[in-house]
Structure 1
Amino acid sequence: MNDEPEQQPPWVPEVRTDCPVEVPQQAWIEASMAWFAREFGREPVMRATVVPSSELRSTAVTPTPRQIEGLVSGLCELMEVDRAELTLELFDRAGEDPAAARKERRTVGHYYVENGRPVIGLDVTEASDVCYLTAVIAHELCHVRLLGEERITADRKDHERLTDLLTVYFGLGVFTANAALRFGETKRGFSVQPLGYLDERTLNATRNDGYSRLGYLTEREFGYAMACYAWLRRDTEPDWARSLDPGLRVLLRQGLAYLSRNAAPGEFPTPRSGSVRLSVRVVPKADPVWLGGLCLMFTGTEWPPNAPKHRPR
């Protein structure tokens, strides 16, 4: 009988147990997810996670306006948005000069209010990638839940980032997380670069000759957000992880390993210090981030944005 401990195969990467993001981003993600639970209840996070089918991943056929309407209606039902109160605009950039379009950041979705009705717009030239289109729709519908329901205001510098994070809470994070990368064409093929933070003028997507994806959160932030989502569900081995891109799966596993070592099931590390409930206040560069009575200094970074507090209940 062999009593030697079983060794992990050399081709299986060791899972890191440190947090995938820095402390300010971690505090923001965890505090925001906890706020979502208070605002929307725990029911959205406990639903079945939405994942793309193999047919959806492989399709290259542009859906018809009627099919897009069906997709929007289905997502409205999932996200508890009244479709009858929502105006859908489809716009087409097919006539643009391709060379000029490659040099500019393009709006692929928008949200505004007209005569008291929320309006979301979708670029149908991007509709052939249905997973991508789903991510755009999810983002715009989260605007309806946050801005349209006056839970936050557009004055918040992090309101677009918070909107992307809400897609995770409502079970659509597989789509928006996978869409959060830009694949830029290089001489050797394709390189992968995180998009990082984009402002409202550039909206949430750019496209180029290679492959560009939308997103206000970085890949690491999405990875840890997905780990927090799974942790709230008390699901440390989620089946839906196989639908994430490989890099995101690694970050998800790392985030779950970190949480399992540092938090009780269904809770987060930063909001608590022993039995004392802490509040999180995000402040500008080189100023302290207060976690209750604990002051942490973060210098040399412009993150996080100077966002107002969440709306008090």
Structure 2
Amino acid sequence: MFGLFSKKQRECPIDTNTRLWMEQAFVWLVQEFGENNLRTKPMLFPTTEYFPFPYDGTKGSFIQTAHIIARQMEIDLQMINLDLYNESVQEIQSDYGFRMFTQPDENSDSPLTAGLYFGKNETGQFDVFIEKNNLKDPEKLVAIIAHEFAHIKLLGEKRVSFNDESLTDLTTVLFGIGVFNANCAFREIKNFDTRGHSTLGYLKQREWGYALALYAYFRQENNPGWVHHLTPNIRSDFKKSSAYIYGNTDKIFREKYNPGH
């Protein structure tokens, strides 16, 4: 397969502690959400086949997008108070004592939030709010909604007792939405008057590549066709990670993560 798994490419692109944490977290997520579910659930891709409506950046399109993501993540959208806010903020105090969790967007000198998760409100619904400017970018919008909905799967369904943003990012991979979050992790901005980059989420670019490689390995997809949906930089990290995994199958999911070392 074009040297994908050649010995020259068997060095892991992420550090050992991060690799071991990710593999252990992945196993835990599979135990929580079901091995058969992971192996058989179709992935979502940025095509009209999976989002069969004309996206126009309106609140209506936003809700339609949220319905698809909620179904993919096995969440009843009626259990969510889903809305938009106009200004990204660093901290919001809830009248009901709920703690806020944010997903930063670092495409500015002062990082701003992209989405907010509050937990359940007084009506029993989960409060989830998305920064309005994200409606301009449908792929980024999917990634943000998926991350905030992942808080519901972990915190809202009481699978964890404390917030872990990296685990929340990884959860999107388990539900087949990782292509969106990975692609938005790092974007280069190049046009006639602008040079720079934007970032989204908590896992780093190479970590997304490894997470998706673990996902493909677990699903026994040696050369998945969905790789062409990845941006070039994520695709490169995915291939390097896959090369490492298939060159070290005796280690994958077998070594124990020890945060003290």
Distance in 2 between residues matched to 1:184 and 1:70, nearest whole Å: 28
Distance in 1 between residues matched to 2:193 and 2:66, nearest whole Å: 38
Q: What does 1:73-112 align with in structure 2 at a 5 Å threshold?
A: 73-93=67-87, 102-112=108-118
Larger relative helix fraction: 2
Distance in 2 between residues matched to 1:21 and 1:249, nearest whole Å: 15
- Aligned residue identity for 1:106: L
* Count of residue correspondences: 236
- Per-residue deviation, 1:93: 3.6
Q: 1:238 to 1:15 in 2, by over 3 A?
A: farther
Unaligned runs of 5+ in 2: 89-106
Q: 1:15 to 1:250 in 2, by over 3 A?
A: farther
Q: 1:282 to 1:252 in 2, by over 3 A?
A: same
Q: Does 1:63 align with 2:40?
A: no
Q: 1:282 to 1:106 in 2, by over 3 A?
A: same
Q: 1:43 to 1:86 in 2, by over 3 A?
A: farther
Q: 1:89 to 1:36 in 2, by over 3 A?
A: same
- Per-residue deviation, 1:76: 0.6
Task: Please state whether the residue corresponding to 1:26 is helix, strand or coil.
Answer: helix
Contact residue 90 and residue 124 of structure 1 kept, 8 A: yes
Task: Please state whether the residue corresponding to 2:117 is helix, strand or coil.
Answer: strand
Q: Does 1:45 align with 2:38?
A: yes
Q: 1:22 to 1:49 in 2, by over 3 A?
A: same
Q: 1:238 to 1:66 in 2, by over 3 A?
A: same
Q: 1:141 to 1:213 in 2, by over 3 A?
A: same
Larger Rg: 1
Distance in 2 between residues matched to 1:31 and 1:110, nearest whole Å: 27
Unaligned runs of 5+ in 1: 1-6, 95-100, 191-209, 273-277, 289-313
Q: What does 1:147-162 align with in structure 2 at a 5 Å threshold?
A: 147-154=155-162, 159-162=164-167
* Root-mean-square deviation over aligned CA pairs: 3.0
TM-score by length of 2: 0.81
Q: Does 1:35 align with 2:40?
A: no
Contact residue 44 and residue 50 of structure 2 kept, 8 A: no
- Aligned residue identity for 2:12: C
- Aligned residue identity for 1:164: D
Listed one character per residue, the Cα deviations across residues 169-188 of structure 1 (whole Å, up to 9, x for unaligned) are 11111100001015367999
Q: Does 1:229 align with 2:215?
A: yes
- Aligned residue identity for 2:257: V
